[in-house]
Structures are given as structure tokens and as C-alpha cells.
Amino acid sequence: MNWPDGRSCVPTSRAASQPVKAIRRPNANCAIAAIARGYGLDDPETQAYPALLREIPDYPHVLYIKGNAEILSQRCLSMVGTRRISAYGQRLCDELVRGLTRIPQVVVVSGLAFGVDVACHRAALAAGIPTVGVLANPLPDVTPAQHTSVAFDMIERGGVLISELHSQSKQRGTFYLARNRIIAGLSAGTVVIESPASGGSLATAHYADGYDRTVMAPPGRTTDANSFGTNSLIRNRKALLIRSADDIAEELQWEFALSRDEKTAPAPTPELTAEEREVLSLLGDEPRTLAELIAASGRDYAALSVLLMGLELSQAVRQLPGNRYERFR
């Protein structure tokens, strides 16, 4: 199988148990690179290796990559779930990913499997969000083969495919569970969209919880088999209940980017009481001292101090050195 650029070479690799002390590109024409986890903070391979993945105890010694590896250091969010996605799960994928577009440098991570995984990758492509596919097979192949075109689109739009398996690895079923730890380890948080009572997505959630990463899940109907797993995670306090991308941003403490209208819109005028408006009218272009305001308003110190505090909290005035006050501009 050839990639869109016509190249299909595979790097010569060492065994995964042997740490490689460099970032290696096998030759100038090869489209696959290998990133090794270094052991010194000043080593270039340490700086290139994804920082969050480096923190987990069972990290892969080498990552084989195809695409833009720089996004692995951005705000990665894993999104996983059942392979038998429902219409409800598809809608959740689309709405949550679309809401993530307001978060700067966000990246969607998943496993390119059937169901929720590929739905999240496709939603990210539609929303213009870079996406990472963590494979359970050696590059340059894509498993399942039906998602090869999606993998091509991911790379062409700034995404990346990664695998810990070198070209001589023989396919094993255990690779899928091992792949799930990488999905969890790459990200600050993991969202389980839909899951039955057992499955790979719950294993990913278990890994994420063990790595002290935030696990989140939207609730589903109690009678839906696809929601048994997610509802159980929420009930057992293994996952935080989320309803939207806003909840995800809040839990991970990621700020939203302001829109152009929000940046230029004037601050809303605070609602003031009649007494506060009266005191505010006493402040012109120049600051006035508290003594001047007491004399002008006819109020005593205690009453005026309460009104000025309310005006400060409403961001209508601000206090200056020397016990002076001015309108807040």
C-alpha cells in the first residue's frame, strides 16, 4: 500500500524494549519517522516525545509516526466508545467535536476503529480540528483497511498516525488493549461517548483513571445497552458527567478563544441601584477623594463606603491610591 505521496518505506527499527537515543528518520525519502523516549531533560528526543505520554509508567519506548508529530504536544483529548455506534452516539460525536472548535490548539485522539472512533475522526475533519489515530498495527498499513481513506485525509489535514509496533511485528489481538493505554496516555482527558457493559473503551477509561487523567462521559438512557458502560462509569464516580464541549473545557480548565464580536463588543453596563447611580454621577473626568464625595453626596462615611463597594464590584468605579475614586473606563 502506498501513501498519497507515493512513498511506502518502513523504518528499520530496534526492539521496542531497547531505548533509542535519537529521533530517527531512516532515510531522506521515507515518510515514516520514529520518536524515542529519552532519559535526560536536555536530550532532543526527550523534547520531541509527547510530554503527557512520557509521564505514564508503561510508556512505549519508540513511537512510529506518519504525519504532523507537532500536534502531539498540543491540547489532546481522547474520544472513544463502542464499535456499534447508535444514532444518539453519532449525534454526540458531532456536537461535542463541533463545540471543541472554540478551544485553541485542541486535538482529537482516537483509535480509527469502527463506530465511535472513526465517527470522532470524521467529525474532527469536518470541524477543521487536527486528529490523531493510534493504530494497533505497524505503519504504513491501516487497520481496519476500510478506514485507509480517512487516515489519508487525517494526514493531509495536519493530523498524524502513530504506532508503537515496528515493521516486523506480527499482528496479535493483545495489541488492541496495549494501544488503548497510548490513547489514554497522550491526552489530558478521555471522553467515553457510548459503551456497553464491557469493551475496549472501558479499558481506555481504566487506563486514563490510573494515569490520573480526567475521565468524562455523557449519560445515556438506562435501557440502552450502549449506555450501560458510560452510566456505570458515572454512577461509580469513575467519570465526570458532561453534556457539552463547555463541560469538557471546564473540567480540563481549557479556555475558549474569544470570537471577533466578543473581542470588540463593549462591556455590558452593570445594573445599578438609584443610590449607586447618584453617587456615580458625582464622578466626572477627574478622580475625587472620599471626603469630597461625602460632602457632595450628603451621606456619612459608612453609607457611602457601602455604595462605593457596590460600584467597585459592578466595575463602575475603581479606587486609586490616596483614597480617591474614578469612573472605570
CATH code for position 188: 3.40.50.450
At residue 215, φ and ψ (nearest 5 deg) are -105, 130
The residue among 161 and 287 whose pLDDT is bigger is 161
Q: Are 244 and 213 within one domain?
A: yes
- For residue 47, the model assigns a pLDDT of 60
pLDDT digits (tens, 9 = 90+) for 142-156: 989 999 999 999 999
Q: Which of 194, 222, 252 finishes a domain?
A: 252
Q: Are 297 and 239 within one domain?
A: no
At residue 191, φ and ψ (nearest 5 deg) are -110, 120
- 44 Cβ partners below 8 Å, 6+ apart? 22, 23, 38
- Angle at which helix 200-210 crosses helix 174-186, to 10 degrees, equals 50
Q: Name the residue range of residue 100's domain.
A: 33-252
Percent of the chain at pLDDT exceeding 70 = 80
pLDDT digits (tens, 9 = 90+) for 90-119: 999 999 999 999 999 999 999 999 999 999
The residue among 304 and 168 whose pLDDT is bigger is 304
- For residue 8, the model assigns a pLDDT of 38
Q: Are 194 and 306 within one domain?
A: no
Which residues of the chain form beta strands (DSSP E)? 33-36, 62-67, 75-80, 106-110, 131-134, 160-163, 189-192, 214-217, 240-241, 288-289, 317-320, 324-327
Structural domain includes residue 213:
yes
Q: Are 162 and 309 within one domain?
A: no
Structural domain includes residue 204:
yes
* Cell numbers that stand for 106 in this block: 485542541
Distance between start and end Cα atoms, the chain: 63
Structural domain includes residue 179:
yes
Cβ(213)–Cβ(237) under 8 Å?
no
Structural domain includes residue 14:
no
Q: Are 174 and 208 within one domain?
A: yes
- For residue 319, the model assigns a pLDDT of 81
Structural domain includes residue 67:
yes
Q: Are 169 and 284 within one domain?
A: no
Q: Where do we find the cell 472554540?
A: 102
Q: Provide the residue type at 84 as one letter.
A: R
pLDDT above 70 for 36: no
Least confident residue range of 10-19, 191-200, 232-241, 316-325: 10-19
Structural domain includes residue 322:
yes
Q: Which of 252, 282, 303 finishes a domain?
A: 252
Q: Are 179 and 321 within one domain?
A: no
Least confident residue range of 35-44, 58-67, 82-91: 35-44
65 vs 35: CA distance, rounded Å: 8
Q: Are 281 and 210 within one domain?
A: no
Cα torsion 82, 87, 88, 91: sign: positive
- Which residue, among 177, 211, 74, has the nearest Cα to 132 in the 3D structure? 74
pLDDT above 50 for 19: no
pLDDT digits (tens, 9 = 90+) for 227-276: 999 999 999 999 999 999 999 999 998 988 755 555 455 555 568 888 98
Q: Are 52 and 194 within one domain?
A: yes
- Look at the chain and report how many structural domains it folds into: 2
Q: Supply the CATH number for residue 301's domain.
A: 1.10.10.10
Q: Are 210 and 312 within one domain?
A: no
pLDDT digits (tens, 9 = 90+) for 168-205: 777 666 688 889 999 999 999 999 999 999 988 999 99
22 vs 19: CA distance, rounded Å: 9
- For residue 324, the model assigns a pLDDT of 82
Q: Are 160 and 281 within one domain?
A: no
- 140 Cβ partners below 8 Å, 6+ apart? 1, 3, 8, 10, 31, 32, 66
Structural domain includes residue 6:
no
Q: Which of 252, 287, 310 finishes a domain?
A: 252
Structural domain includes residue 260:
no
Q: Are 176 and 317 within one domain?
A: no
